[in-house]
Structure 1
Amino acid sequence: MGQIKIFTDSTSDLPPDLIAKYSIGVIPLYVVFNDQNFRDGIDLSPPELYSKVTQTGKLPKTAAPSPADFISAFSPYVEAGDQIIYISLSSELSSTYQNAIIASGEFPEGSVHVFDSLNLSTGIGIQVLKAAKAAESGQSADQILSLLEKIRPNVDTEFVIDSLEYLYKGGRCSGMQNLVGSLLKIRPVIKVLQGKMTPAYKVRGSRDKALDQMVNNALSNMDKMDKDTLFVVHTLAEQDAIAMSQLIKERTGVREVLLSDAGCVICSHCGPKTIGIIYITEE
């Protein structure tokens, strides 16, 4: 009898030990510098990405896996009789989900289930982790998909962007906004709402002030926070992430506060020293 194999993509930013523990399949997106394609997390690391941006003064582009990439990854498991649940990067942010849907049509009906996380980074990862634990406990594909439908709208994903430079270079804010924001030391805070990156508010002043605000926002949800798992995800901000995770664990009583490094695709859009807090609220 086949098993349920959980797949996700590289933007889920799950720590390698969790990927190994639950045998999660990871399909990489692509980071493109000029005519060179790099597989996220395989051919290129965030420090290497930042070095290339510094050298060239330009941001890379990012690209979804092709339907052929998905077919290649899924085929061995389907042939072995397994059922696949693939949890994707938000369909509002990438064609990754649509390409997975196209690929799923090449397999027998019901063998590949594609689920839109409507999230990014460990906002995907926290859903993947719930699915992997449910699969390990023996739940069916229908039960796992029902669980994902339930928790998806309750994933709270919030990031502090340290600099407007990457948003500016990526065409997500104007040159004047970048100049004014830099002069006034404005730190934008991004939330994921209905699958999209949405500016939630701006904090004027020090980085510490912005991080404190984000932590306080999470603590304000303490009473309705799922106490199983919370992620603190970062890129080149390990000390801040450790301090925040320790404080949150002490104050909330969450059983697992997990640190995660953002991958190259997320770094391409947010830049260094970005840090986020992700958790699930209970209904």
Structure 2
Amino acid sequence: MKTAIVTDSSAYLSDQQVRENDIIVVPITVIFGQETFLENIDIDDQLFHEKLQTSGVMPSTTQITLGQMQEVFDKLIAQNYDEVICIHLSSGITSFIENLTEYAKTITEINVIPFDSRMTSQGEANMVLLAAKLRQEGKTGKEIVPVLEHLRETTKVDFMVDNLSFLMRSGRITNRSAIMGNLLRIKPILDMNEKGQIVIQSKERTRKRALQKVLENLHSDLDRGAEEYRVSIIYGIDHDLSAKWEETIQQEFPAAQFESNQLGPVIMSHTGEEIVGVIWGKDWEKM
């Protein structure tokens, strides 16, 4: 059985990870006014920052097209692949995976297996890397998906944004909550619920209190065995704050596996650049 693995650019896998694990990454489109950019091809973090400061318009994104996916499928069919596992951005914030699931029913020359990560960034990436690991071990798509589901069930995220206006504008959280938050100048802790939707979990007055809330949430899971967990610090442009969070959390849970993952234009189009957070779940390398 010849199995391909496809994901999107919001997983923010490194070039080395993509190359070493033979992963296909389909770029998501970022929009500034009338200009469109494919993430990690036409636009990187630096250009995104420049456009954000100088363009005078707020960025938006558009989901991957089925035409883009068909191009990928055609290439895989030509290379005699039997199946392709497609691991993508949460269905709670985009309808893409739902559209792909319907479209997959029309594909007859290769078995298309859509998988909803219900996550983004490192949470999504870890599922992709787990799929690649299991494929290397000789597992088929039918055997890989249940393991991915288990990792998804254990994966959680808490993140803090400095300004709720980006999330409010994109409709990723309710306008009423966002407006109240801006008036109160809170530091909201957001997470993704069981449907992969972004929700406000708590409203803290300071960054220090926000970090303490995240630590409380981490303790609820990692106290049962931190050595079984992988903790990922995600951030936008504030390297110093992310480093502080990583140092503090690592001191609290020294047995866990740690890594950091800088977010890119697609996610920051919806959160703003001032974002820091934590994704944690069972360590995929031990699954």
Same fold, TM-score > 0.5, yes or no: yes
1:159 maps to a residue whose letter is: F
Farther off after superposition, 40-49 or 140-149: 40-49
TM-score, normalised relative to structure 2: 0.86
- 1:41-52 matches, cutoff 5 A: 41-52=40-51
Superposed displacement of residue 214, structure 1: 1.7
Contact persistence 1:12–1:121 (CA under 8 A) = yes
Question: Aligned equivalents of 1:176 and 1:227: distance in 2?
Answer: 35
Aligned to 2:21: 22
Which whole-Å deviations, capped at 9, do the CAs of 1:40-92 have from their partners, x for residues lacking one?
Answer: 22111233223323324432221111111001123222332222111111122
SS for the counterpart of 2:90 is coil
Question: Aligned equivalents of 2:88 and 2:149: distance in 1?
Answer: 13
Gaps of 5+ in 1: none
Computed over aligned residues only, the root mean square deviation of the Cα atoms, in angstroms, reads 2.6
The answer to whether structure 1 residue 6 and structure 2 residue 44 are counterparts is: no
Superposed displacement of residue 130, structure 1: 1.7
Superposed displacement of residue 183, structure 1: 5.8
Aligned to 1:215: 215
1:48 maps to a residue whose letter is: L
Aligned to 2:59: 60
Contact persistence 1:70–1:103 (CA under 8 A) = no
Contact persistence 2:37–2:43 (CA under 8 A) = yes
Which whole-Å deviations, capped at 9, do the CAs of 1:112-139 have from their partners, x for residues lacking one?
Answer: 2111112222221222222122112222
The answer to whether structure 1 residue 143 and structure 2 residue 135 are counterparts is: no
1:89 maps to a residue whose letter is: L
Farther off after superposition, 122-131 or 216-225: 216-225
Question: Aligned equivalents of 1:47 and 1:133: distance in 2?
Answer: 32
Aligned to 1:122: 122
Question: Aligned equivalents of 1:7 and 1:129: distance in 2?
Answer: 11
Aligned to 2:205: 204
Aligned to 2:237: 236
Question: Aligned equivalents of 1:214 and 1:231: distance in 2?
Answer: 13
Superposed displacement of residue 103, structure 1: 4.5
Which whole-Å deviations, capped at 9, do the CAs of 1:201-244 have from their partners, x for residues lacking one?
Answer: 11112x23323432342234213457253211111122332333
Aligned to 1:101: 101
- Pick closer, same or farther for the CA change 1:246–1:259 going to 2, 3 Å: same
SS for the counterpart of 1:58 is coil
Aligned to 1:163: 163
Question: Aligned equivalents of 2:245 and 2:177: distance in 1?
Answer: 32
Contact persistence 1:58–1:169 (CA under 8 A) = no
1:29 maps to a residue whose letter is: I
TM-score, normalised relative to structure 1: 0.87
The share of aligned pairs that are identical, in percent, is 25
Aligned to 2:189: 189
Contact persistence 1:53–1:59 (CA under 8 A) = yes
Question: Aligned equivalents of 1:209 and 1:105: distance in 2?
Answer: 48
